[in-house]
Structure 1
Amino acid sequence: MYKVLITDAHHRKVLAAIRSLGNKNIEIIAASNKRVYSSRMSKYCDSFIEYPDPAKKPKEFIKFMTKYTSENKIDLLMPMDDITVELFSQNLDSFKDVKIPIPDYNTFMKARDKSITIKKAIETNIPAPKTHFINNLNEVETLKNEIEYPIVIKPRISSGSRGITYINSKEELIEKYNLVHQEFPFPMLQEFIPQTGRKFQVLLLIDKNKNILASTVQELLRQFPVGGGPGTLWKTIESKELEDLSIKLIKSLDWYGIACVEFITDPRTGEPKLMEINPRFWGTLNLSLKVGVNFPELLIKMEMGEEIKPVINKHFEEYCQWLLPGDFLNFIFNKDRFNQEINYFFNKPKKFHYAIFSKDDPLPVLGAVLSYIVDLFNKEKLKNIFNRGK
């Protein structure tokens, strides 16, 4: 039996991961800096621990995790979000006795830093929005009279559309660029792709020999915030074109482990364009599991040296919804709420799944509701939710 510790357990993707490992002869320990969350109430969660906030106390976090994994003989540690993956990639030498299936720090930053990702895409002839890479603030002053509007201010390092700002004229560019720059230094200026374009995720698992061990392609049908953010309704699709582009890019980065490559179709040309790589597990993980592509289990087997037969999704037009609060908020703020092909609450397609609700494992719904109530009193959390992609 493997003993696996999964971090960032307050995220819904961790609930999906824990459920995917249930009945797999794996002892599962959920870990978070929060106390109230859905996955700790899953019947598949064997135990849970609380650690120092990795964003606010990174040194204390690493010290705690080093001690805990050693004393409790953890076989594999699975970091699930940007900050924890980054911290572990910087400190891999401190975890000699535990497997951590992530790339080294330099490789990780090729995907974490969106400017590096876009430059690599340009080098490898992968379509991407026209991008201006800013190295000093004087360049913005020069560019304001040369670029086409609208344009997007896009942080080099962020997640969940945080910091992304849309600019409609040169008069507002300097002020808003400086505001974003204060929190996200030297963001890029990127061509605006109309948000009516279709949005896709290519989900991959790749080993150190550049073999693709798992793959799924999804289309995001709804998000919150409505203009761009975490997916609230999505479906599996077939797209060899997007799969091939993603594999080409990932291999050029010498990547290892999990990756989520995101594209948007430019509605003006029909061409898919790279938006970013998420170098960690994605919030829409549950649907891959429902169609039989068990990324967490395959990742563990890969890291532990077990033989793996590649799993490429062949189940298309299956749907998944993150109803509360995600798709409910989309319903409230979406001006086209009554013109949706897939109804928010009724007449669901036959092959339809939910991100949190499960008849087999119902208690996490209660944990999710309690965590949402706690978040209502967290001003920082509410700001992060509603200030994405403005």
Structure 2
Amino acid sequence: MQDEKIKGDSAKGRVLILDGRQRSTLAAVRSLGKLGLAVTVGEDSLPCLASKSKFVANSIRYASALSDPKGFISDVAHELSRYKYDMILPMTDITMSLVMNEFENLSRSTDIPVAGKESYLKAIDKGKIIELSQSLDIPTPKTYFINDLSELNRIRSELNYPVVIKPRQSKYLTSSGWIDAGVDYAYSFDELNRKLEIYKNSPCLPLIQERVSGPGIGAFLLFNRGEVKACFFHRRIREKPPSGGVSTLRDSIAPDPVVKDYSIRLLKALNWHGVAMVEFKQDSRDGTPRIMEINARFWGSLQLAIDSGIDFPAMLYQMTTTGDVPSKFDYEIGVKSRWLLGDLDHLLARLLKSDSSLRLPLNYPGRIATLVGFLKFYQPKMKYEVLRFDDIRPFLFELKEWLKQLTK
């Protein structure tokens, strides 16, 4: 592990934020740095996006959480022993999982503002969330649980294709490293059988679900030991890739009262603590929002919530250091957040690739409309996610890295 710089001893408090490549980390850095806190950013290579912010006090390099999990934990533990940190914020699934695996040890050195290990493991298990939702009368996709491949014949007559093959967790740590267990689809019983074969030696088989079509709805919440303190909603306008992925332009919207109620009930049942994103899909057949999963960490579009008036990182810090924080549910509707270089990638994909190769729906905006939309560099209530003239260096670093990839 190596320090890039050391400063901030006169600050009001100290926070360690992991995953410095993430734009959500940059948002948290700016939020907490503006409070006068000494923010240390960690990543497995330096410099990185968030480390370039003027609000960073220290930058540390640690072993890769992906390729060297034990080294990563050792480096994080070493950093926590060097300074008294008020809290640590893992910002991705992998670092969160590793930190939670060492919850008892690491929590002796700093506060990990997440529900306990038991609640966390339940929250990231999609099967347990489906079962909990059903017990709370929260709508779910029709889901089949099987313990052995021989049980497929039992449900064969009930399946309507395509079906979704959904691993219980997005990522698994094995003796040979991390496995990225993505969602897959099967269009016939034979294909389902074949695709499940790779899981036959797995300790837990994936869920088999009906495919629910419709727009995604996400509720973003902050809880203090089972009590909701903040809630925020947004919608995606453009994504990278265009067919669906990371949002490049999004705006704040009024809360969906039904989704809000379901999300609060679900997290209360988990006695949740800290932040979480609860994802639903609005079923195109009847408009019913159906639970998909819980993300037990900060989300990618965090900056939009902050710009709209709910500063989740600042609220989380106050709650962690003082025990509570005033509730905040009102925010400005219609605020837009634009990731400029991601939006440029969206534009280039739309201009240079065919509709069929991008798998676009029939009503997707055409090339001219996409170009016109991209050229709207100024819109009322629109703010740029990375590009901030009062903290320009992260954008310049991102632009340099983007140009490197373009010339490869």
TM band (smaller chain): 0.7 to 0.9
1:311 is paired with a residue whose SS is coil
Q: Any conservation in 2 of the 1:28–1:47 contact (CA below 8 Å)? A: yes
Structure 1 residues 176 and 257, CA gap change in structure 2 (3 angstroms): same
User: Structure 2 residue aligned with 1:221, among 207, 221, 237?
Assistant: 237
Aligned counterpart, 1:168: 187
Q: Any conservation in 2 of the 1:206–1:212 contact (CA below 8 Å)? A: yes
Structure 1 residues 265 and 67, CA gap change in structure 2 (3 angstroms): same
Residues of 1 paired with 2:189 and 2:271: CA distance? 39
* Residues 306-353 of structure 1, C-alpha deviations (whole Å, 9 max, x = no match): 552111133112222333236623753364242679923327641212
Q: Any conservation in 1 of the 2:41–2:59 contact (CA below 8 Å)? A: yes
Aligned counterpart, 1:203: 220
User: Structure 2 residue aligned with 1:93, among 104, 119, 133?
Assistant: 104
Greater RCO, 1 or 2 (C-alpha within 8 Å, sep 6+): 1
Residues of 2 paired with 1:221 and 1:184: CA distance? 39
| 2:258 aligned with 1:241 | yes
Structure 1 residues 341 and 366, CA gap change in structure 2 (3 angstroms): closer
Q: Which moved more, 1:366-375 or 1:51-60?
A: 366-375
| 2:393 aligned with 1:363 | yes
| 2:343 aligned with 1:322 | no
Residues of 1 paired with 2:126 and 2:285: CA distance? 24
Residues of 2 paired with 1:228 and 1:171: CA distance? 28
Q: Any conservation in 2 of the 1:259–1:279 contact (CA below 8 Å)? A: yes
Q: Any conservation in 2 of the 1:86–1:108 contact (CA below 8 Å)? A: no
Unaligned runs of 5+ in 2: 1-11, 172-179, 351-357
Q: Any conservation in 2 of the 1:163–1:180 contact (CA below 8 Å)? A: no
Residues of 2 paired with 1:296 and 1:17: CA distance? 6
TM-aligned CA deviation for residue 158 of structure 1: 0.7
Aligned counterpart, 2:382: 352
Aligned counterpart, 1:68: 79
Aligned counterpart, 1:388: none
Report the TM-score when normalising by structure 1. Answer: 0.87
Aligned counterpart, 1:47: 58
Structure 1 residues 308 and 91, CA gap change in structure 2 (3 angstroms): same
Q: Any conservation in 2 of the 1:198–1:220 contact (CA below 8 Å)? A: no
Residues of 1 paired with 2:156 and 2:374: CA distance? 41
2:337 is paired with a residue whose SS is strand
TM-aligned CA deviation for residue 118 of structure 1: 1.1
TM-aligned CA deviation for residue 57 of structure 1: 2.1
Q: Which moved more, 1:139-148 or 1:123-132?
A: 139-148
RMSD: 2.7
Residues of 2 paired with 1:347 and 1:367: CA distance? 20
Structure 1 residues 181 and 343, CA gap change in structure 2 (3 angstroms): farther
Aligned counterpart, 1:343: 373
Q: Any conservation in 2 of the 1:89–1:103 contact (CA below 8 Å)? A: no
Residue type of the alignment partner of 1:177: L
Residue type of the alignment partner of 2:263: S
Aligned counterpart, 1:385: none
Structure 1 residues 66 and 164, CA gap change in structure 2 (3 angstroms): same
* Residues 47-84 of structure 1, C-alpha deviations (whole Å, 9 max, x = no match): 21111112332222222211211112222211111122
Aligned counterpart, 1:192: 211
2:303 is paired with a residue whose SS is helix
Structure whose CA Rg is larger: 2
* Residues 153-203 of structure 1, C-alpha deviations (whole Å, 9 max, x = no match): 1121117x9611122222322223335778995221111112xx2211111
* Residues 330-389 of structure 1, C-alpha deviations (whole Å, 9 max, x = no match): 7533642426799233276412122222122121112223444677899xxxxxxxxxxx
User: Structure 2 residue aligned with 1:125, among 125, 137, 150?
Assistant: 137
Q: Any conservation in 2 of the 1:85–1:102 contact (CA below 8 Å)? A: no
Percent identical across equivalent pairs? 31
Residue type of the alignment partner of 2:215: R
| 2:116 aligned with 1:104 | yes
Aligned counterpart, 1:383: none
Structure 1 residues 281 and 346, CA gap change in structure 2 (3 angstroms): same
Structure 1 residues 298 and 186, CA gap change in structure 2 (3 angstroms): same
Q: Which moved more, 1:84-93 or 1:343-352?
A: 343-352
Unaligned runs of 5+ in 1: 379-390
* Residues 1-45 of structure 1, C-alpha deviations (whole Å, 9 max, x = no match): 111110011111101111112321100110011334211111111
